[in-house]
Amino acid sequence: MSIAELARAELRALQPYRAAQQVESTIRLNANEAPWSSCADRFRRPLNRYPEIRPGSLAQALGAYFACDPSRLLVTRGTSEAIDLLIRAFCREGIDNIVTTTPTFSMYGHYATVQGAAQRTVETLPEDDFEIDVDAVLEACDEKTRLIFICSPNNPTGTLVSRPALLDLLARRGDRSAIVVDEAYIEFSGEPSAVELLDRHPNLVVLRTLSKALAFAGARCGTVMGPVEVIRILNAIQAPYAMSTPVVECVEDALRSSVIDEAQGRIAEIMAERERLMTAMTSFHFVETVWPSAANFFLLRVDKGDAVIRRARDNGILLRDFGDSLPNCVRVTVGSEAENDRLLELFAEIDRGKS
């Protein structure tokens, strides 16, 4: 059975919005558009005209970048929209559920709540470096589990799910659930993407983004990749003209080979800075634990986490407080070399007990 059969029955037959036809070098009197361009319009495609309902050239470029057939890919407004679309497509209100690990990215549970779907969580343990237990994930599932979200590398822990563990989960759960692997940070891991498994595992869905490694968070562009039948359903429920013309053009520019080559160099720099920072953190007495990370951030446990967060903020440095779910835990994003030096100087001051 295709995992598309797990989607809501009323959506499996849903057809996407039929937009006004777009044909080059014609007089367009069919879409209620303005016939003039604004004096502020500085884009290659005029903004008085609607963009493509789905950006075909951008899908081709993203397919080439992520090594995925464009027919198995939907361009989304970041991976957050992809998560929302998947939960809306697969989960019936008050009936179906999703399974996630904890701690993990909070938006899985957020969109489940919006949809009226239950969230079942499987705890991962700090003493085990937050490693995912496949047996525990499978035990949390029942016949109404439509989606299993695996964030790899995981936010906020930095944990990378091993390929054997992922293959085990895919094989043992089969077509009873879609396994959604969120790879927002995969470029910083040095490991291959799960995209290469799509052809062999019809229950796999992969999320990727340009926000992190390509430094395009402000453009809000991501992708969801999976079986053609699933992509068709998601396409039918996504808003028409979801990607604006300025975003399409700037992302097309970001996918030029010269820009990608530069990004690869930047990724290597971030990975080196991550290791430098994490090594330095072990020398501070108030830092109790530095967990391993495969992302562009890492997680710390410190003495008096609230005080550390406050002291950093007072010195113009913002860190992420995870004390609500992980007592005294702080997530540190790897910045530029100069920014990281400032953080280390501040931590040295804290360690010396300066006020």
CATH number at residue 342: 3.90.1150.10
| CATH label of the domain that carries residue 101 | 3.40.640.10
Residues 302, 174, single domain; the answer is no
**Sign of dihedral through CA atoms 210, 214, 215, 216?**
negative
Residue 221 counted as domain residue: yes
- For the stretch 301-331, pLDDT in tens is 999 999 999 999 999 999 999 988 899 999 9
| Residue 188 within a domain | yes
Q: Residue 354: its pLDDT value, please?
A: 56
Average pLDDT over the chain, rounded to whole? 94
What range defines the domain where residue 172 resides?
A: 3-17+53-255
pLDDT at 347 over 50: yes
Whether the per-residue pLDDT at 69 is higher than 70: the answer is: yes
**CA torsion angle 82 87 89 90 (round to 10):** 130
130: left (phi over 0), alpha (psi -120 to 50) or beta: left
Residues 70 and 132 occupy one common structural domain: yes
pLDDT tens digits for range 275-296: 999 999 999 999 999 999 999 9
Bridge partner residues of 74 (DSSP)? 224
Q: What is the pLDDT of residue 342?
A: 97
Domain stop point among 255, 281, 310: 255
Do 70 and 204 lie in one domain? The reply is yes
Q: Is residue 30 part of a domain?
A: no
**Do residues 246 and 265 share a domain?**
no
Q: Are residues 229 and 264 in the same domain?
A: no
Residues 145-149, mean pLDDT to the nearest whole number? 98
Is 32 part of a structural domain of the chain? Answer: no
pLDDT at 355: 44
Tally of domains within the chain = 2
Domain boundary among 211, 237, 255: 255
pLDDT digits (tens, 9 = 90+) for 211-230: 999 999 999 999 999 999 99
Query: Does the residue 242 lie in any domain?
Result: yes
Asked if the structure places residue 185 within a domain, the reply is yes
> 292 and 246 in one domain?
no
Within-domain flag for 38: no
Q: What is the mean pLDDT of residues 250-274?
A: 95
Give one word for 190, left, alpha or beta, with left for phi > 0 and alpha for psi -120 to 50. left
Instruction: Say if CB 48 and CB 41 are below 8 A apart.
Output: yes
Is residue 341 predicted with pLDDT exceeding 90?
A: yes
Same domain, 212 and 312: no
pLDDT for 199 beyond 80: yes
The reply to whether 65 and 188 lie within a common domain is yes
Domain shared by 247 and 302, yes or no: no
Are both 285 and 156 inside the same structural domain?
A: no
User: Does a structural domain hold residue 27?
Assistant: no
Specify whether 249 is located in the same domain as 265: no
143 and 246 share one domain: yes
Model confidence pLDDT, tens digit, residues 82-133: 999 999 999 999 999 999 999 999 999 999 999 999 999 999 999 999 999 9
Q: For residue 179, is pLDDT > 80?
A: yes
Domain termination site, one of 220, 255, 290: 255
Mean pLDDT along residues 161-168: 97
pLDDT greater than 50 at residue 8: yes
Task: Give the separation between CA 300 and CA 329, rounded to whole angstroms.
Answer: 5
